[in-house]
Amino acid sequence: MDPRTYGYEKPIDNLTKGTLVRVCVTNWGAPPTYCMGVVIETAVKNNQTLFPSVIVYNLETKRTTREFLGGLKVISKID
């Protein structure tokens, strides 16, 4: 880990459709599972919400879910 970040990463704010992200799937009593997903719908640009989220299509479970930005990690971004 980079010692300059002190465990914090730069917040995700500009996700576009088609961005490949890492999704953490958790089940009670089991360790978390990390899957890849594709962002298919983003939040409104001028909407400041307490918990911003996006709609993600999970490539491994083949389901569409709403994921919070704090739980995602960008793998590949489309500009």
pLDDT tens digits in sequence order for the chain, 79 residues long: 445 555 555 556 678 889 899 988 888 899 988 999 999 988 665 556 677 889 999 999 899 999 888 788 888 887 7
> What pLDDT, on a 0 to 100 scale, did the predictor assign at position 40?
93
Q: Which of 60, 15, 71 is nearest to 36 (CA)?
A: 60
pLDDT of residue 1: 46
Residue 22 forms beta bridges with which residues? 36, 73
pTM (two decimals): 0.74
